[in-house]
Copies of this chain bind each other. A is one copy, B any other.
Amino acid sequence: MRIAQVAPLYESVPPLLYGGTERVVSYLTEELVSLGHEVTLFASGDSHTRAKLVPACPEALWRDPKCHETLPQHVRLMQLVFDDVSRFDVIHFHCDYLQFPMLRLCPCRSITTIHGRLYTPDLKGLFEEYSEVPLVSISDSQREPMPNANWQGTVYHGLPRSLHTFRNGEGGYLAFLGRISPEKRLDRAIEIARRSRWKLKVAAKIYPEDRTYFTEVIQPLMQEAESFVEFIGEVGGREKDEFLGNASALLFPIDWPEPFGLVMIEALACGTPVIAWRCGSVPEVISDGVTGFIVDDVEQAVHAVSRIGSLRREACRSAFEARFDAARMAHDYVEIYRRLQYNGPESASIHVVQRQAPTIGIGFARPKLRRSRAALLGDVPGIA
């Protein structure tokens, strides 16, 4: 199949360190190449891939000190894709919604994976306008704000099997990995470590917008807790592998509806169980009592830490291999691509919604033709 993967341009594919979406796009792209597909990757020019790379900008935008505004490059990215859609059997977008108006004007077989949270005050109007655009969710929980959007399936993220090393977690510490922002609740992780008398190692990137939160809230907590909390900054590659694999457990005390939570499956790949808040995708990713514990408060988290030895690290690795490896992710997506592709010769027309000429002045009231793929194809359950 001739497949285009369209990545965001913030980080390279794969990214140097953090950059969840770009990382997933990289794993998917390489797996699709391995499966024999003809894959074209639209990404920043410093990306590395076995697919054909179409560089949409010379350098990842967040790594380019001259870049102040990222939108122009993404608009240009769209042009590179839509210049000739006949090159591809399917175009897979990973960069939000800029393609929606283009898809209506330029019919093609497409699928868009939503990687972020669906914050309805900002997004509802847009997604209702483009209700014909086929979407994939990265957890069932992610769909909740817009359950009736044109979902084609849920595809959980996956990692290459060889990426992480199974380890015995004998470092004797709890791990926290993620950006330092209020919804990630590093403060809870520190409190859990304090009350369970464990060492906590924190690997985290501080984004400019979180700098104030870090200096005003987190830094004082860390200073107070310096006897048992160690801050090691941003980690990647082998360092990250060791950081996760040597931990007794990963703490994931989130306070927001995390759409997926890549770090949970990275920990599982190392054999490291996860103590996570019942929030967002967590109940879909973690099997309570098998690959970790799902908790509702700090009390329960402290109790979970005390029982962490009762979990088998092999079970974590097995769950990772069965449910969260990149090959499974690629197969799931190919299944969705095929459903898009083998929908008969008239299938292209499903993207061309006939619209009534709208009456000026009633922008909110004009009639909308809502025609979901589910209605055309029969019900399409989540396939993961």
Flag the segment in A74-82, A156-164, A195-203 that touches B.
A74-82
Q: Who on chain B is nearest to A87 by CB?
A: B360
Interface centre among A53, A71, A97, A360 (most CB of B within 10 A): A360
Q: How far is the CB of A86 from chain B (nearest CB, A)?
A: 8
Q: Are A357 and B84 in contact (CB under 8 A)?
A: yes
A332-379 interface (Cβ within 8 A of B): 355, 357-358, 360-361, 363-364
Copy total for this chain: 2
Q: Are A75 and B98 in contact (CB under 8 A)?
A: yes
| Neighbour of A101 across the interface among B73, B79, B121, B361, CB < 8 A | B79
Flag the segment in A19-27, A122-130, A294-302, A317-325 that touches B.
A122-130
Chain B residues with CB below 8 A from A358, complex form? 80, 83-84
What is the CA–CA distance of A106 and B68 in the complex, to the nearest angstrom? Answer: 29
Query: Contact string, A100-116, partner B, CB cutoff 8 A, digits 1/0?
Result: 11101110000000000
What is the CA–CA distance of A106 and B82 in the complex, to the nearest angstrom? Answer: 13
Q: Are A360 and B76 in contact (CB under 8 A)?
A: no
Query: Contact string, A49-88, partner B, CB cutoff 8 A, digits 1/0?
Result: 0001111111000001011110111011011101110010
What is the CA–CA distance of A28 and B119 in the complex, to the nearest angstrom? Answer: 35
Chain B residues with CB below 8 A from A154, complex form? none
Q: Are A76 and B121 in contact (CB under 8 A)?
A: no
Q: Are A55 and B363 in contact (CB under 8 A)?
A: yes
Which 7 A-B residue pairs are closest in the complex by CB-CB distance? Answer: A66-B121, A105-B105, A72-B126, A69-B122, A54-B363, A55-B363, A84-B357
Q: Are A101 and B78 in contact (CB under 8 A)?
A: yes
A276-294 interface (Cβ within 8 A of B): none
Q: How far is the CB of A62 from chain B (nearest CB, A)?
A: 13
| Neighbour of A125 across the interface among B76, B78, B360, B363, CB < 8 A | B76
What is the CA–CA distance of A82 and B121 in the complex, to the nearest angstrom? Answer: 23
What is the CA–CA distance of A87 and B363 in the complex, to the nearest angstrom? Answer: 14
Chain B residues with CB below 8 A from A101, complex form? 75, 78-79, 82, 102
Q: List 30 A-B contacts (CB under 8 A).
A: A45-B364, A52-B360, A52-B361, A53-B361, A54-B360, A54-B363, A55-B363, A55-B364, A56-B363, A57-B125, A64-B121, A66-B121, A66-B122, A68-B122, A69-B122, A69-B123, A72-B97, A72-B122, A72-B125, A72-B126, A73-B122, A73-B125, A73-B126, A75-B101, A75-B126, A79-B130, A83-B355, A83-B357, A87-B357, A102-B105
Q: Are B102 and A54 in contact (CB under 8 A)?
A: no
Q: Who on chain B is nearest to A127 by CB?
A: B72
What is the CA–CA distance of A8 and B355 in the complex, to the nearest angstrom? Answer: 25
Q: At the interface, yes or no: A40 with Cβ under 8 Å from chain B?
A: yes
What is the CA–CA distance of A57 and B364 in the complex, to the nearest angstrom? Answer: 8
Q: Are A79 and B129 in contact (CB under 8 A)?
A: yes
Residues of A at under 8 Å CB distance from B?
40, 45, 52-58, 64, 66-69, 71-73, 75-76, 78-80, 82-84, 87, 97-98, 100-102, 104-106, 119, 121-123, 125-126, 129-130, 355, 357-358, 360-361, 363-364
Q: A71-B71, A75-B97, A75-B98 are in contact. Are A80 and B363 (CB under 8 A)?
A: yes
Q: Are A82 and B68 in contact (CB under 8 A)?
A: no
What is the CA–CA distance of A102 and B102 in the complex, to the nearest angstrom? Answer: 7
Q: How far is the CB of A85 from chain B (nearest CB, A)?
A: 11
Q: Who on chain B is nearest to A77 by CB?
A: B363
Q: How far is the CB of A303 from chain B (nearest CB, A)?
A: 36
Q: How far is the CB of A186 from chain B (nearest CB, A)?
A: 22
Q: How far is the CB of A211 from chain B (nearest CB, A)?
A: 10
Interface centre among A66, A79, A82, A104 (most CB of B within 10 A): A79
